[in-house]
Amino acid sequence: MRIVAGLAALVVLVAGTTTAQADTLEYVALGDSAAAGPLIPNQDPDLWCLRSDRDYPRVAAKTLGATLTDVTCSGATTDDLAGRRFGLLAPQLDAVKPSTDLVSVTIGANDIGLFQTALSCINALPEPFGLSCRDRFTAGGRDQLAEAIQAWAPELGAALDEIKRRAPHARVLVTGYGTYIRPGGCYPVQPVWARDGDYLQGVMNGVSAVAKAQAAQRGMSYVDFASVTVGHDICAAPGDRYLEGLIPATVAAPLHPNAAGMKAFGASIARAADLVGAAE
């Protein structure tokens, strides 16, 4: 009888362990530096992608108790989801499997060169001593960056379709980007003229709007990072920032989320994942 009881207990233990393993959320994080967290300590030993162990996917995975495959990579474009970055790194989409339960995607800013654009908007002196980047990008009645965003939209859509093909049962969370600079900016704290700051944030909002629309067309969820960062932009006091300015106040890349921002973004992803799961 003791042997039978012991075997029964073992079966229950094994069954419980198997069930727990089956219930563990398999989470894959895709995206660029806004997800990877360049320079935020500690950085992964593989320095190709400048990925932090405190990026938002790690925060979300810990909250959700998920197993994480984090292939976010600084500098990534939408092409890098399906193609080899630097000709060396595997396509990010290779991490997405039929067993994947959750996918987060933050991509698009590098497709239109937003970081380089922002740097081109720096003016050390107040108007009129300098050149406006808004005037330059909207010369001749055309908005070059708005056109680039619209050209990028079908690329994002194709990438989202491929995620769904590879992981048909996964919850897919598509994120936007943060509120980097408040209306009117904060010149000279951040050396970007007010109209240029408004233009830059408008471009960022345009990228986020496309991400939201492409997600909605496919029944995927959108996670709004812009609302999370209101009041925590590059104009905020250093201790209140989720996004760093041209000269970071904490260890993080310029014009990128810091550790506090990643913590807030990770909480948003975890909440969205729970809401999606509850609705299924």
Task: Write the CATH number for 226.
Answer: 3.40.50.1110
Q: Is residue 210 part of a domain?
A: yes
For residue 52, being part of any structural domain is answered with yes
Number of structural domains (the chain) is 1
The reply to whether 199 falls in a domain is yes
- 116 domain-assigned: yes
Does residue 33 have an active-site annotation?
Answer: yes
Give the separation between CA 221 and CA 214, rounded to whole angstroms. 10
Is 263 within the bounds of a domain? yes
Q: Which domain holds residue 64?
A: 26-279
| Catalytic-labelled residue, pool 74, 104, 221, 256 | 256
Distances (CA, A) of 222 to 78, 114, 117, 172: 17, 21, 25, 9
Asked, for residue 16, whether it belongs to a domain, the answer is no
- Does residue 7 lie within any of the structural domains? no
Q: What is the pLDDT of residues 128-158, one digit of tens each?
A: 999 999 999 999 999 999 999 999 999 999 9
Q: How far apart are CA 252 and CA 236, in angstroms?
A: 16
pLDDT tens-digit map of 89-140: 899 999 999 999 999 999 999 999 999 999 999 999 999 999 999 999 999 9
Write down the pLDDT at residue 19: 41
- Active-site residue, from 33, 104, 208, 268: 33
Does residue 256 have an active-site annotation? Answer: yes
- Length of the chain (residues): 280
pLDDT in tens, 190-246: 999 999 999 999 999 999 999 999 999 999 999 999 999 999 999 999 999 999 999
Q: Residue 1: inside a domain, yes or no?
A: no
